[in-house]
Amino acid sequence: MTVVAQMLDTYPKDLGGVDRERLRACIEACIECAQACTACADACLSEDTVAELTTCIRTNLDCADVCDATGRVLSRHTGYDANLTRAVLDACAAACTACGDECEQHASMHEHCRVCAEACRRCGQACRDLLTSLG
């Protein structure tokens, strides 16, 4: 059992009808994607062709920040604000799409971009899945 699952299971109040499994999956995907994007940006900085990767680096860092913020917002349940939750999930899905698309352009030359693009796709899907379950 993951720490995210343990924290959700030990929350003392009702989550208000939020699908616990989708919430867990989304938080974990956000954390994973933030890490992948941070690592990919760093790897891009180490490439000999770093000047050609500036957009990728910027997109990676933006996505990492949005995913981190989304995972943190989703981890707080007291005083739940459905409108804010939907907004951060929308923003995260958009950031993941942009970053996944950008990294995919470099994936044939840089394995770290391929790995990052896949993490972005998983996270974007997890955000959309959770959004759908919120109604």
Cβ 123 vs Cβ 27: under 8 Å: no
Give residue 56's pLDDT: 98
The pLDDT, as a whole number, for residue 14 is 84
Residue numbers of the domain that contains 64: 19-134
- What pTM, to 2 d.p., does this model score? 0.95
pLDDT digits (tens, 9 = 90+) for 90-102: 999 999 999 999 9
Yes or no: say if 16 and 80 are a contact pair by the CB < 8 Å rule: yes
φ, ψ for residue 16, nearest 5 deg: 70, 35
Domain count, the chain: 1
CATH code for the domain in which residue 60 is found: 1.20.1270.360
- 89 or 78, higher pLDDT: 89
Distances (CA, A) of 107 to 34, 46, 53, 70, 87: 18, 15, 12, 26, 30
Ranges of H-type helices in 10-110: 20-46, 54-74, 82-106
- Is residue 13 in a domain? no
Residue 10 lies in a domain: no
pLDDT given for residue 135 in this prediction: 66
Q: Is residue 96 in some structural domain? A: yes
pLDDT tens-digit series, residues 40-85: 999 999 999 999 999 999 999 999 999 999 999 999 988 888 899 9
Residue 15's pLDDT band (cuts 50, 70, 90) = confident
Indicate whether 120 pLDDT > 80.
yes
Q: For residue 127, is it within any domain?
A: yes
Residue 1 within a domain:
no
Query: pLDDT-derived band of residue 24, with 50, 70 and 90 as boundaries?
Result: very high
